[in-house]
Amino acid sequence: MEDGILGNLALCHEWPKTIAVTGALGSGKTEFVLNLARGLKKNGKNVTIADADIINPYFCIRQITEPLEQEGFSILNPPETAKWSDMSVINPGIGNAVVGNADHLILDVGGDAGGVMALTQFEPDIQSVGYRLLLIVNAYRPKTATLQGIAQMAARMEALCGLTVDSLVSNSHLMEDTTAEDVVRGLDTVLEAGENMHLPVLYATVIPELYEETKSLMEKSLMERSLVKKYQVPLWPLTRFMKRPWEGSEMWS
C-alpha cells in the first residue's frame, strides 16, 4: 500500500487543533493515532503526539518514542518517574501543547473510560482552541459489540472528561482471523450505532492485506443494497506499529 494514501485519507475530513482519540481497552486507538499522525504529517502538518494512556502502559506511544521523534514528531510522555506505571499521571506539558504552535495535537487517551479522566485538567483550553473526540470502536470487543454498548461507552467518556464524542471510527477485527466480511459486518454495527447517536463514522480500518478485498465487498454491497451513503465511509489500510512481545519487537527488550 502506497504511503501517499495516508495523506489523501487524512484530507477526507477537517481537523481542529486538538484531536483526542479514545476507545475501550483493545480497541486499537493507539494504532489509529499513529496512522492519523503520519497522514497529517504527509500533508506538511506539524504534529505533536501526547501519550495520555494511564490504563495500559504496555501498548502505548511511550514504547516507540525514539523512532517517532526521528520521524519529526514531538512526543509528550508521562513524567519519567511514572512512565511505566499505571498511575493517573500524564505530562503537564500537554496544557502548553494545546495552545502551542503545533498544527495539531493528537491525544492518545485512556484504555477505557477511566483513562479519559486525565483530560479534565485540560478541558477548558481544549474547548477554547477546538477539538474532535474520536471513539474507536471494535464491534467484536465485548464492551462495544452492541449498539447499546457503543452508546454507553461514549456516554461514560463524555461524563468523565467534559468533552463530547463527535465521531466514530470502525476498527472492527478479529486479530489474525479477520476476514473482509468481518470488517464489513463490524462496520454495519458501527454505522447503525452512529445513526442512533447522530454521529458520523469517519473511517473504517482494515489491514493492508485485506484492503482490496474489503473495498470490493463494500462497493458490491453498495450496489446490491442501493444504499446511497452507507458504504461511502473511507477505508483506511491501518498499518500496525505496536508489536506484541512474542513478535520479536525491540520495544520489549
**pLDDT, tens digit, 9 for 90 and up, residues 82-141:** 444 454 556 667 888 888 888 999 998 875 555 567 778 888 999 999 999 999 999 999
Domain ranges of the chain: 4-242
- Check pLDDT > 60 for residue 80: no
Residue 253's pLDDT band, with cuts at 50, 70 and 90, is very low
Amino acid at 246: W
Report the alpha-carbon distance of residue 25 to residue 3 in Å, rounded.
28
The model's pLDDT over 22-67, given as tens digits with 9 standing for 90+, comes to: 988 888 898 999 999 999 999 999 999 988 765 555 556 767 888 8
- C-alpha cell at position 95: 496544557
Out of 73-87, 124-138, 141-155, 178-192, pick the least confident: 73-87
251 against 50, higher pLDDT = 50
Edge-first strand order for the sheet with 18-23 is 74-76, 47-52, 104-109, 18-23, 131-137, 165-170, 201-206, 235-237
The burial class, CB within 10 Å (0-12 / 13-18 / 19+), for 126 is buried
The three-class DSSP label of residue 181 is helix
- Check pLDDT > 90 for residue 184: yes
The burial class, CB within 10 Å (0-12 / 13-18 / 19+), for 110 is buried
The burial class, CB within 10 Å (0-12 / 13-18 / 19+), for 40 is buried
Residue 7's pLDDT band, with cuts at 50, 70 and 90, is confident
Q: What is the largest CA-CA distance in the chain?
A: 56
Report the alpha-carbon distance of residue 230 to residue 188 in Å, rounded.
8
4-242 carries CATH number 3.40.50.300? yes
Residue 166's pLDDT band, with cuts at 50, 70 and 90, is very high
Q: Per the confidence metrics, is the pTM higher than 0.95?
A: no
Radius of gyration of the chain, Cα coordinates, nearest whole angstrom: 17
Amino acid at 181: E
What's the pLDDT score for residue 94? 83
DSSP 68: H
